[in-house]
Amino acid sequence: MDTRPGTVRRRLSRGLSALLGAFVLAGMLGSVPAQAASPPRLTARAAALYAPATGQFLFTEHPGDELAVASTTKLMTALIVLEHVRDLGTVFTQNNYYPAAGDSQIGLVPGERMTVRDLLTAMMLPSGDDAAEDLAYNVGHGSIARFVAMMNARARQLGLTATHYSTPVGLDTPGNHSSAADLDRLAAYDLAHSRAFAHMVAQPRAVLQSGSHVRVVANLNNLVSEYPWIDGVKTGHTRAAGYVLVASARRFGLRLISSVLGTTSEASRDANSLALLDWGYASFRLRTPLRRGQVLARPAVQDQPGLHPRLVAARGLRRVVGITQRVALRIRAPRQISGPLQRGAALGTATVLVAGRPVARIPLVLSAAVPAVPPLVAAGQFLTRPLSLIVLIMLVGIAGAVVLNARQRRRSRSRRRELEAA
């Protein structure tokens, strides 16, 4: 099966020029319009498609519904372990945990010793409940309840508002639920904050060297072995949850994370996930309309000919946009400024428009300070201005008239004194 999008990618056409004043920059920053695929019709109870680079949800279907999520609960179990155990070579001893016959397990027995790395791998790939129990018991300092409280506290810190845990394993217990949107965000956080985790969930299979004997485990996420661009992340299945999959993928420089909840079989789970990811890559691309420090205007400076300081974007912007959507910039900046002005002074804005709608407004700031006009230069410029010359001539004339009048008055007084003396 060829999973590559059928649409043609074309290079960006950039027409950005640092013009001054208020205008719309019509240069295309998105790709040339192409026929976009229609959103997929899924058979999942809930689903979401997420772009971690920009925090955008590209597709949602009941994204906030609180649902049973089975072993995708272990995404939080793994996060708590990774945040509390720095050395993954640390050895834990299995507690007195006897999983039910139907539970997913790797056959750990009470007292068996295994490294945290192998326990995490056993938990994430074959979804070993016994491995999850071992990790929770030891990181919780002998208390599963304490570990679950840590899970819930972390969920609140991450803003996972539809998520609550009552188990580190993911069995159908009251109060254990999450949502499609929360699972996407949590998986993105796990992948971004732990290279060990990202490496683990991208393996089709792994060898566990520690423990009472060597074990070879396979990843229940079949898509990892079948599609090289899919690199995680976690499956789940219980009677209440149905079949669940949170999948991560990377193509065309864009990572996408999908979640499908409540499907009826493994085949349906995989088909829904593939449909969602394929549609995402056929329909969207990651664009960078603005980069931090990008020069967007060079205004003149009053009374300082030849000086054209740079107005630059205060921050960059990345955005996932539809392949048919135009991305443009509207630049508003003064034609002329006057010093002194500090470096970083905001003197304009760049508005990013997607399909004609503003999605971000970014300040334009000075990349360097603008000095005041030197006093001698300012005086010289003042004196050479036509109006200044007229005023100066008038002042000189008035001063001359005052002096002449004073002389005449002195002469008159002198003559009167001479006449009186005679």
74 as an active site residue: the answer is yes
Of 233, 78, 67, give the one whose Cα is nearest residue 147: 78
Residue 177 sits at the vertex; the CA angle it makes with 173 and 180, to the nearest 5 degrees, is 150
Active-site choice (17, 31, 38, 74):
74
Contacts of 266 (CB under 8 A, 6+ apart): 222, 237, 243
Q: CA dist 60 to 52, 63, 158, 234, Å?
A: 15, 5, 20, 19
User: What 3-state class would DSSP assign to 302?
Assistant: coil
Residue 117 sits at the vertex; the CA angle it makes with 227 and 126, to the nearest 5 degrees, is 45
Identify residue 139 by its one-letter amino acid code. V
Q: CA dist 198 to 91, 134, 206, 255, Å?
A: 21, 21, 14, 13
259 as an active site residue: the answer is no
Active-site choice (17, 31, 38, 71):
71
Spell out the SS3 assignment of 196-261: HHHHHHCCCEEEECCCCCCEEEECCCHHHHHCCCEEEEEEEEECCCEEEEEEEEEECCEEEEEEEE
Place of tokens 């208390």: 143
Q: How many helices (H) and strands (E) does the chain have?
A: 10, 19
CB atoms within 10 A of CB 103: 17
Active-site choice (31, 104, 127, 179):
127
Pairwise CA distance, residues 5 & 149, whole Å? 44
Active-site residues, by number, are 71, 74, 127
